[in-house]
DNA sequence: GTGAAAGCGCTAACAG
DNA sequence: CTGTTAGCGCTTTCAC
């Protein structure tokens, strides 16, 4: 690898503008104590020479690295990519996070880390040591992994925890899981459903339980019985099949089901078909992910839209503006919406 | 922003192992001229202290940046992410590129750049100056933009051009577009189709024409007439609608259509439905993208699978291993497959 | 084989 | 307000 030097450095600018390096540095970083006149002169040279600071050098001299790390679960992410089922979590994170980073001169780097590995700390530590990011976004299930959040807090690296409510170090953000579950439940109750089943996600994710809470509360508010109407899945298709069967095998089966992931909703749709039930006439269905595929099933699925991009964008903003030693009290909540499509209708049989 | 120093540096390791900095540096970079015994001792200290070199420092001292830039078209990529239609191009690039990078201690950074902007060079130049990547992957339509490839060549930055065949600077890679088009055509001809229509992509992409070539050649080889059976679209849904209508309005309409994108195939499916044609009985359909959504349409679409991940992986390997001043003669071809699903069958009416 | 010295491009700290 | 000095952590000379 040949030695590649920066084409135009701060020195060239300084020489061109006839000022010291420091003055150029001040202009670049928008620091005070530069006369407007000087500033203009320097800026002119910068533009003329097409100068762009090297982030490596900036980082080296103890300043920022202009890098935000977005950490996702390795196993799950790779499985999603390989299966090509349309999960666009990473895309939405990039859409929100990367574009917001770009607006402020930062870059977002996606990093995959094994939650279950016994050397999570080593993996994360290595990424941090190598990259020296100015901020880290952790997603479920990492956001609830104390090994990860602890390490980040200890190293005083600003970090945002998406899908985490715990008070403490780092910026906690949620997408209003209870609220979303309530929205779905109320929509169904409003259509006249009395028996509304719920397929929950893995206990490994707290948000799975927040969703149950929202559903249960909405059921109670509507004066509906919810005993026995909640089945636990693990977000995956197979678990959805089992859960849907269990619900439909009930003596008094639900006429509507809310499932905590697109795959589990898809599974419920399959089970309904296999039993000769028509969706939405015999069974209404709501998916907890508004991923691409829900639009292409038949019928297209009514879905809860989680504002992943908006959440990532907010996380980046907070990280950059006030991430330093941020301590969460209550989480930042970015609420989503219910998108009504063809899988929900008033119950035909009661 | 507080001044954050590296926790454990090469100095600590050197002190711990009782050697000079250079020796540690040599061990890190696997350079010769280190006695195995020394090497072991140093490695032990590295492991003990959990030392990881700072990329910024490595880059600063004229070595590598361990960064590969993957450049995609800004407008198109954002539109894809926002529309949530399941285009997983970026995901597949990450799957192949990022994981391959990780295997070799590199990171992949996604960067969006406007092809149509008049300041492409400035945008790209800025990204390069700021990040100093060791390699760049350019995707269509950037891979055929001389402003981009020219700049990269001029700066002697190793780069790979995906979807480009031109001899010259940079590593040219394709996914065997003609071959894929032939595969599809032969499959349909084998089923007994005589009239096989083709919906091409935008002329802005050379690969759109390579696909036409493959289709035409296969038609000729099978002794089939192809005059008037090719309609030009722009990869988007609307253009697909127009093209499909034009084809089906023909006096002797095709019994099968190959469309150069998933959206255009979807459009053809819609048009077929609107005309009361059953797929595949009245009309067979093949999509040139095996994106997630093609599995969820009804019927699921037979599709040409472009090995995006494998191509990105290969690009990274070549970039790292022999990217320096690489000059392409013939392109590296990573061939894809035909995935047969429910949208193709023997023609019912002849 | 190994070590010492110099410097990459930039900013922090301190002078003026 | 502006300039000077001293590094940041590492690799590249070039000695030994």
Q: Tell me which of A311-315, B28-32, B55-59, B127-131 is least confident.
A: B28-32
Q: Determine the average pLDDT of the residues in A314-336.
A: 95
Band (B4; pLDDT cuts 50, 70, 90): low
Quote the pLDDT of residue B289: 94
Query: How large is the average pLDDT for residues B300-318?
Result: 98
State how far the Cα of A234 lies from the Cα of A75, in Å rounded to an integer.
15
**pLDDT at residue B5 is higher than 90:** no
The architecture that CATH gives domain B67-175+308-336 is 3-Layer(aba) Sandwich (3.40)
Averaged pLDDT for residues B89-102: 98
pLDDT band at residue B292 under the 50/70/90 scheme? very high
CB atoms within 10 A of CB B74: 19
Q: Which nucleotide is closest, CA of A11 to its C1'?
A: C9
Burial category of B321 from C-beta neighbours within 10 Å (exposed 0-12, middle 13-18, buried 19 and up): exposed
Q: What is the pLDDT of residues A273-290, one digit of tens each?
A: 999 999 999 999 999 999
B36 CA – C3 C1', rounded, Å: 18
- Map out the domains of chain A as residue ranges: 5-58, 67-175+308-336, 177-305
Tens of pLDDT along B241-291? Answer: 999 999 999 999 999 999 999 999 999 999 999 999 999 999 999 999 999
Q: Cβ within 7 Å of strand C: which of B 36-55? A: 37-38
CA to C1' distance (Å), from B40 to D12: 23
**Please, how many CA atoms are within 13 Å of residue A305, restricted to the half-sphere of its CB?**
15
- Number of A–B residue contacts, CB under 8 Å: 167
Integer-rounded Cα Rg, in Å, for chain A is 25
End-to-end CA distance of chain B: 73
pLDDT digits (tens, 9 = 90+) for B60-86: 988 899 999 999 999 999 999 999 999
Helices (H), B31-83: 36-49, 55-60, 74-83
The whole-number pLDDT of residue A349 equals 61
Q: Closest Cα to residue B58, out of B10, B3, B13?
A: B10
Question: Per CATH, which fold does A5-58 belong to?
Answer: 434 Repressor (Amino-terminal Domain) (1.10.260)
CA distance A180 to A305: 8
Which residues of chain A are within 8 Å of residue B2 when distances are taken between CB atoms?
156, 324
| B102–A54 C-beta distance less than 8 A | no
- Residue B153's H or E segment, with its range, is helix B146-154
Mutation target to probe the B interface, by most B beta carbons within 10 A, among A52, A65, A154 is: A52
Taking only the tens place, the pLDDT of each residue in A25-80 is: 999 998 888 899 889 999 999 999 999 999 999 999 988 999 999 999 999 999 99
pLDDT classification of A4: cutoffs 50, 70, 90:
low
Question: Model confidence over B156-172: pLDDT tens digits?
Answer: 999 999 999 999 999 99
Strands across the sheet with A171-174, in order? Answer: A107-113, A67-73, A135-138, A159-162, A171-174, A332-333
Burial category of A3 from C-beta neighbours within 10 Å (exposed 0-12, middle 13-18, buried 19 and up) = exposed
Please give the CATH architecture assigned to the domain spanning B177-305: 3-Layer(aba) Sandwich (3.40)
Task: Say yes or no: Cβ of A28 under 7 A from any atom of strand C.
Answer: yes
- Mapped onto helix, strand or coil, the DSSP state of residue A138 is strand
**pLDDT interval class at A348 (50, 70, 90):** confident
Which residue from A146, A92, A91, A95 is spatially nearest to A124, judged by alpha carbons? Answer: A146
- Give me the residues near strand D, CB below 7 A: A 1, 3, 19-23, 26, 33-35, 37-38, 60-62; B 5-6, 9-11, 21-22, 24-25, 28-29, 51, 53-54, 57-58, 60-63
CB atoms inside a 10 Å sphere around CB A288: 29
Cβ atoms of A287 and A302 within 8 Å: the answer is yes
- Is pTM beyond 0.75? Reply is yes
Whether A14 contacts A29, CB under 8 Å: no
Quick one: pLDDT at residue B117?
Answer: 77
For residue A3, pLDDT over 60 is answered with: no
Whether A74 and A291 have beta carbons less than 8 Å apart is answered as no
Mutation site for A-interface testing, chosen from B8, B56, B159, B291 by largest number of A Cβ within 10 Å: B56
Please say if the pLDDT value at position B122 is more than 60.
Answer: yes
Q: Do B5-58 and B67-175+308-336 show the same overall fold?
A: no
User: Are A125 and B50 within 8 A, CB to CB?
Assistant: yes
Residue B141, preceding bond cis, omega within 30 degrees? yes
């Amino acid at each position: 690898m040949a030695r590649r030097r920066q084409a135009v450095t701060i020195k060239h600018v300084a020489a061109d503008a006839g000022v010291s390096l420091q003055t150029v540095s001040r202009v670049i970083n928008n620091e005070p104590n530069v006369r407007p006149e000087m500033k203009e002169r320097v800026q002119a040279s910068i533009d003329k020479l097409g100068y762009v600071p090297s982030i490596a050098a900036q980082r080296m001299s103890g300043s920022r690295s202009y890098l935000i790390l977005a950490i996702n679960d390795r196993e799950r992410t790779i499985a999603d990519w390989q299966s090509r089922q349309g999960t666009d979590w990473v895309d939405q994170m990039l859409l929100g996070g990367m574009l917001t980073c770009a607006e402020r001169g930062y870059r977002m780097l996606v990093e995959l880390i094994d939650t279950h590995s016994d050397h999570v700390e080593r993996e994360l530590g290595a990424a941090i040591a190598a990259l020296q990011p100015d901020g880290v976004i952790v997603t479920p299930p990492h956001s609830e992994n104390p090994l990860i959040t602890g390490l980040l807090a200890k190293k005083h690296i600003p970090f945002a925890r998406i899908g985490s409510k715990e008070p403490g170090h780092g910026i906690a953000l949620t997408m209003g899981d209870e609220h979303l579950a309530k929205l779905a439940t109320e929509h169904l109750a409003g259509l006249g459903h009395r028996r509304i089943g719920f397929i929950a996600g893995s206990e490994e994710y707290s948000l799975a339980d927040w969703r149950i809470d929202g559903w249960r509360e909405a059921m109670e508010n509507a004066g509906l019985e919810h005993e026995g109407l909640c089945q636990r899945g693990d977000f995956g298709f197979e678990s959805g099949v089992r859960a849907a069967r269990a619900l439909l095998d009930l003596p008094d089966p639900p006429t509507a089901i809310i499932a905590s992931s697109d795959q589990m909703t898809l599974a419920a749709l399959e089970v309904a078909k296999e039993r000769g039930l028509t969706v939405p006439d015999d069974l209404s269905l709501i998916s907890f992910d508004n991923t691409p595929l829900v639009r292409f099933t038949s019928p297209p699925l009514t879905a809860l839209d989680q504002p992943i991009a908006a959440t990532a964008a907010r996380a980046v903003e907070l990280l950059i503006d006030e991430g330093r030693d941020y301590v969460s009290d209550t989480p930042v909540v970015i609420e989503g919406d219910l998108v009504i499509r063809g899988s929900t209708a008033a119950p035909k049989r009661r």
